[in-house]
């Protein structure tokens, strides 16, 4: 198989490259050259946002599968997809469940309504409409039968450059009392980046097309299991102090970003992020490894790179500062 990665040097793209190489695929990455690709990957250099930035792609080449993770202006996806529509068999776009209209009921699936006001030729607007615009661009160029829309949920695992799981691992490694946002049995949905990568490749081989909610089943893990795994793998003396959600919120800590991954139970936000139907992806072969493996492998990778995970400049820095954490801990002790 001949794979073209658009990007392919960080997080999702890097995991796809490693998985494809492990299967013996021929892998090419079209990227800006800011980060080194995986060893064994052929590089083409260009900038999709620059005039004539696709020159290296326009000069030729044919592929069985294109994998694109773009999350900014949809017109970049439009231009690339149009360029490649007669030179690639299938175009897999790593989209997001953010494309669904807000809010969604429990158990929503791929037939749920999507955001309005998204266009394939648009400049960058907001994440949801940008991702939906990217989907429309792929569908326009490749049609429904040759387009694979991987609507990922929360993505965790090695190479993470958003900072969610690395923040928890770093905080717990420091030890001491740790603000653990309750409830302990709060169900979570996420996908290990390596499981996402394997699924995308397999989906192409088996001829899949259309949208898939690409994330673990609801309750695949819980907030308690995630943080317990962090304590175990770091070997720290951290003491998880489970704290009522109202106390966390009253301390001014924002869900999802202040304490990464966590959102309060019984809210539209929790339903949308952690209570979607993923049976279609499961029926198409999605296999989700246990959270202990995701946490352990992420911790090992952090050790290999010096303990500090990379941070995408276009995403907000996550985590709560020590003073705010201490305030919430004190409130919880007296609550």
pLDDT of residue 325: 97
pLDDT of residue 315: 87
pLDDT of residue 195: 98
**CB-based burial, 58-72: b 16+ in 10 Å, e otherwise:** eeebebebbbbbbbb
pLDDT of residue 210: 98
* Domain edges within the chain: 2-152, 161-188+218-277+287-334
How confident is the prediction along the chain (335 residues), in pLDDT tens digits per residue? 999 999 999 999 999 999 999 999 999 999 999 999 999 999 999 999 999 999 999 998 999 999 999 999 999 999 999 999 999 999 999 999 999 999 999 999 999 999 999 999 999 999 999 999 999 999 999 999 999 999 999 999 999 999 999 999 999 999 999 999 999 999 999 999 999 999 999 999 999 999 999 999 998 999 999 999 999 999 999 999 999 999 999 999 999 999 999 999 999 999 999 999 999 999 999 999 999 999 999 999 999 999 988 888 888 899 999 999 999 999 988 75
CA-nearest of 211, 210, 214, 209 to 197 is: 214
Class of CATH domain 2-152: alpha beta
pLDDT of residue 172: 98
Three-class SS of residue 301?
Answer: helix
Bridge partners (DSSP) of residue 260 are 256
pLDDT of residue 314: 86
Three-class SS of residue 44?
Answer: strand
In sequence order, what are the residues at sequence separation of 6 or more whose Cβ sits closer than 8 angstroms to the Cβ of residue 38? Answer: 8, 9, 14, 17, 18, 21, 27
pLDDT of residue 335: 56
What burial class does residue 316 get, using C-beta atoms within 10 Å of its C-beta: 0-12 exposed, 13-18 middle, 19+ buried?
Answer: exposed
pLDDT of residue 333: 84
Q: What is the DSSP letter of 184?
A: T
């Amino acid at each position: 198989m001949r794979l073209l990665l658009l990007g392919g040097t960080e997080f999702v793209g890097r995991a796809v490259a490693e998985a494809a190489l492990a299967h013996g695929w021929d892998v090419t990455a079209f990227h800006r050259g800011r980060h080194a690709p995986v060893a064994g990957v052929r590089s083409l250099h260009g900038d999709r946002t620059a005039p004539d930035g696709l020159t290296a792609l326009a000069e030729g080449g044919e592929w069985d599968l294109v994998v694109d993770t773009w999350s900014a202006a949809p017109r970049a996806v439009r231009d690339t997809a149009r360029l490649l529509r007669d030179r690639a068999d299938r175009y897999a776009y790593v989209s997001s469940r953010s494309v669904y209209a807000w809010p969604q009921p429990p158990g929503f699936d791929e037939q749920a309504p999507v955001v309005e006001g998204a266009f394939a030729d648009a400049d960058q607007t907001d994440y949801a409409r940008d991702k939906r615009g990217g989907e429309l661009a792929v569908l326009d160029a490749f049609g429904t039968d040759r387009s694979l829309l991987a609507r990922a949920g929360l993505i965790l695992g090695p190479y993470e450059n958003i900072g969610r799981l690395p923040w928890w691992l770093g905080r717990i490694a420091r030890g001491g009392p740790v603000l653990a946002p309750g409830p302990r049995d709060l169900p979570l949905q996420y996908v290990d980046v390596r499981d996402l990568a394997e699924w995308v490749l397999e989906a192409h081989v088996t001829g899949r097309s259309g949208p898939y909610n690409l994330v673990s089943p609801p309750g695949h893990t819980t907030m308690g299991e995630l943080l317990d795994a962090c304590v175990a793998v770091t070997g720290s003396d951290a003491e998880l102090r489970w704290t009522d959600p109202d106390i966390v919120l009253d301390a001014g800590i924002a869900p999802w970003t202040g304490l990464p991954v966590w959102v309060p139970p019984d809210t539209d936000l929790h339903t949308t992020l952690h209570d979607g139907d993923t049976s279609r992806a499961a029926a198409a072969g999605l296999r989700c490894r246990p959270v202990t493996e995701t946490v352990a492998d992420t911790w090992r990778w952090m050790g290999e790179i010096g303990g500090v995970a990379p941070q995408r400049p276009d995403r907000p820095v996550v985590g709560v500062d020590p003073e705010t954490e201490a305030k919430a801990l004190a409130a919880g002790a007296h609550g």
